[in-house]
Amino acid sequence: MLVITRKAEESIVIDGNIEVIVLGIAKDGVRLGIKAPREVQVHRREVFETIAEANRAATPTSAAPVLEAAALLRSSAPKVRLTKHR
Amino acid sequence: MPQEETILRFPQGLVGFPDRKEFQLFEPTDAYPLKFIQSVEDPDLSFTCMDAAAVKMDYEVPLDESTARTLALEDPKDALVLLLMVVPEDPSQMTADLAGPLVINAKTQIGVQVVLDSQRFPLQYPVFNAKDDVLIDFPAGLVGFPRIHSFRLFEPAGGYPLKFLQSVEDPDISFTCMDVAAIRPDYEVPLGEEDASVLALEAPIDALVLALVVIPEDPRKMTANLAGPLVINAKTRIGRQVILNTEQYPLKFPILASH
């Protein structure tokens, strides 16, 4: 891993088009600013991991009862709603 | 739920057939999900129909008090709603009549054909409209899967309302998902500037929002990920997984408990 020391308001450039700027250093953390092209997704690691894990969980195993689940969903769909006036 | 060969009684007949009051309901397993009703008085008269929920999950029949009284419907859950189907020579062009649903009290087997406003409820709703295979490009991949971009979105046979999103590059990778509108009609995705610009959505109506679905061994416990919706521009077929605040948008929303 590359380790670089930076002071507040200094930055690093990644791949020519992504800039990570140290905005401020405080007791409880470092504030970073990120300038990147719009298609580059930037996430906090723990959020990224959580969503990635949730994505992996949504890849069905061959044993997943998909059709049974679909039938349950259909039977739970709303059917009629009682109204006072048509 | 009516079993095979149930007799349904329509005290007012069907629209255009006021004196046909008894119909036998057939649910041949090899024709699933199609069902048939055949007039007892006139066996030459029969109709093809389908459970409304199998056509359109969020379809709901507004039922006035007098119709509810005719049906003696105490609990909306007792209602069985069938839609009449038109099956042309090319079955992929099949349509359902959303304006004239048959509402049946499953407890008493008494039914009424309800006539709805065809401006709001189409007479010829194309059943397979949304069921075609489409290719969708996710330029950034999905979170945790950055290197797969091209996906096939399709509905497995008998799997409505579930869909599969399968990687074109690696067909072993696929995800189960469904239209968020069928889970939470009030769900809205706050789109950040970056997300909106990648998706290039011109109008909110162009957005198809899917939630990834986790189906455990006990399917009653299935959950939807509302924190990482897949937003797709239906016009350009470009999609993006949007990451929302997991404190506000649950990662594991119990789908069946919500109904």
- CB neighbours of residue B250 within 10 Å: 14
Q: How many Cβ atoms are within 10 Å of B91's Cβ, its own excluded?
A: 11
Residues of chain A found within 8 Å of residue B194, distances taken between Cβ atoms: 38-39, 41
Q: Is residue A62 within 8 angstroms of chain B, CB to CB? A: no
Give the up-direction half-sphere exposure of residue B76: CA atoms within 13 A in the CB hemisphere. 16
- All residues of chain B having their beta carbon less than 8 Å from the beta carbon of residue A48 are 143-144, 243
Mean pLDDT within B68-76: 87
Q: Which pLDDT tens digit goes with each residue over B106-121?
A: 999 999 999 999 888 9
The closest CB to that of A76, out of B198, B216, B259, belongs to B259
- The ipTM, to two decimals, is 0.72
> pLDDT value at position B2?
43
CA angle B68, B74, B76 (to 5 degrees): 75
Predicted confidence (pLDDT) per residue in B111-151, tens digit: 999 999 988 899 998 887 555 688 999 998 999 998 899 99
Share of chain A above pLDDT 70, in %: 97
pLDDT over threshold 80, residue A7? yes
* Chain B stretch 178-197, residues whose beta carbon is closer than 8 A to a beta carbon of chain A: 178, 182, 193-194, 197
Do the chains contact at B81 and A79, CB–CB below 8 Å?
Answer: yes
Is the pLDDT reported for residue A81 higher than 90? no
Taking an 8 Å cut-off on Cβ atoms, the answer to whether A73 and B161 are in contact is: yes
Contact yes or no for B212 and A54 at CB 8 A: yes
Alpha helix stretches (DSSP H) within B7-141: 52-55, 65-71
How far, in Å, CA of B208 to CA of B163, rounded?
13
Half-sphere exposure for B246 (CA within 13 Å, toward CB): 15
With 0.80 as the threshold, say if the pTM is over it: no
Q: How many CB atoms lie within 10 A of CB B65?
A: 12
SS3 B104: strand
> Within 10 A of B143 (CB to CB), how many other CB atoms are there?
22
